[in-house]
Amino acid sequence: MIRIGTRASQLALWQANLVKTQLEKLGHKTQIIEVSSTGDEVLDKPLHQIGGFGLFTKTLDNAMLRGEIDVAVHSLKDVPTDLPEKITQVAVLERANIFDVLVLKNNADFLKNPESAIIATGSLRRKAQWLQKYPEHTITELRGNVNTRLQKLIDNDWNGAIFAAAGLERVELLPKNHVMLDWMIPAPAQGAIMITALKAETELLEICRQINHKETEITVGVERQFMKTLEGGCTAPIGGNAKIIGDTIYFKGILIAIDGSEKVEVEKTLAMSEWKSLGKICAEEVLSNGGKKLMESIKAEMKK
């Protein structure tokens, strides 16, 4: 019996059930174990004020270390690049939609006119990129699972709210009244589901590796290496998108000030044989082109 640990939200359970189905197709018995995290329970504060990056994963890590679950299922964009010493990434499932989406309250007319609007998001990356494009708009904090956030959009006098498209599509909650934000650089590993297990469980590791999607593993690996080298997390406005094109791998990344006033971008294509160093190369280029100073100012801003 493989005990699959997951957060208790609708989206998290959908992801866990996808892993359950794939493992059972291989002939294994599974059981889903729901675990509640601080990030799910404290919704009245910005994420970076209650623990930031890794907040959603720590509870599952601890449950695994206590022997309560065998594997954990995560949205990979929420997972720190440095895992606990005894835990390892064992599989990444095939990636879904990487983009962000704006769910509209009424219509999109306000996007064509230079007038004030209120947009909701709990992500500093989304906030920063939105304010760079629409500096006259106001960003308001939005936390909670996808159902909660959609309801808050209905209940409040906002023009729209920004979500990860993959999450809404997976649970079939993407409203017709939306705009796909293909201009916004997504979070590293957005749209990817990751499975972790204890390093010592060698038989379990071999089982889970059978459902690993290699192309996704490579692209999210580049993006997370970029983020790690910048020393950023989900609380820093960092975007990254890698894709394989024939025998090459392409990457575009961004580090942007929280208010959208300043950014450093990088765009590069290398041979597939060099993919393991692409994220680091791009991050070092960002740091040398003003990114180091920008990252210091972002960290100072977040401490206020």
Q: How confident is the model over 213-242, as pLDDT tens digits?
A: 999 999 999 999 999 999 866 578 999 999
Q: Please identify which of the residues 40, 61, 70, 78 carries the catalytic annotation.
A: 78
- CA dist 274 and 86 (Å) reads 29
Helices (H), 113-192: 124-133, 146-155, 165-170
Both structure tokens of 107: 């219509």
Give long-range contacts, CB 8 A cutoff, 24+ apart: 24-33: 26/207, 26/210, 26/211, 28/2, 28/207, 29/1, 29/2, 30/1, 30/2, 30/3, 30/4, 31/1, 31/2, 31/3, 31/4, 32/4, 32/6, 33/3, 33/4, 33/5, 33/6, 33/63, 33/68, 33/69
Query: Which residue type is seen at 140?
Result: T
Residues 6+ apart with CB under 8 A from 161: 102, 103, 119, 120, 121, 142, 149, 150, 152, 153
Q: When comparing pLDDT for 280 and 107, which is higher?
A: 280
Helices (H), 82-210: 124-133, 146-155, 165-170, 202-209
Q: Are 264 and 291 in contact (CB under 8 A)?
A: yes
Predicted local confidence at residue 188, as pLDDT = 97
Q: pLDDT band for position 113 (50/70/90)? A: confident
Q: What average pLDDT score do residues 106-122 get? A: 87
At residue 83, does pLDDT exceed 50?
yes
Domains of the chain and CATH, by start: 2-95+192-212 (3.40.190.10), 100-181 (3.40.190.10), 227-303 (3.30.160.40)
Q: Are 9 and 2 in contact (CB under 8 A)?
A: no
Q: Could you tell me which of 217, 215, 218, 225 has the C-alpha nearest to residue 266?
A: 225
At residue 158, does pLDDT exceed 50?
yes
Both structure tokens of 304: 């206020």
Q: pLDDT band for position 116 (50/70/90)? A: confident
Predicted local confidence at residue 222, as pLDDT = 98
- CA dist 75 and 193 (Å) reads 5
Q: How confident is the model over 117-150, as pLDDT tens digits?
A: 999 999 999 999 999 999 999 999 998 889 999 9
Helices (H), 171-291: 202-209, 214-230, 275-286
Q: pLDDT band for position 49 (50/70/90)? A: very low
- CA dist 278 and 30 (Å) reads 37
Predicted local confidence at residue 37, as pLDDT = 66
Predicted local confidence at residue 42, as pLDDT = 47
Q: Quick check: helix, strand or coil at residue 225? A: helix
Q: pLDDT band for position 51 (50/70/90)? A: very low
Predicted local confidence at residue 115, as pLDDT = 77
Name residue, tokens 């609380």. 235
The CA distances from residue 32 to 18, 59, 64, 204, in Å, are 11, 15, 13, 16
Q: How confident is the model over 23-47, as pLDDT tens digits?
A: 999 999 999 999 976 544 444 555 4
At residue 92, does pLDDT exceed 90?
yes
Both structure tokens of 22: 């794939």
At residue 87, does pLDDT exceed 90?
yes
* Catalytic site includes residue 78: yes
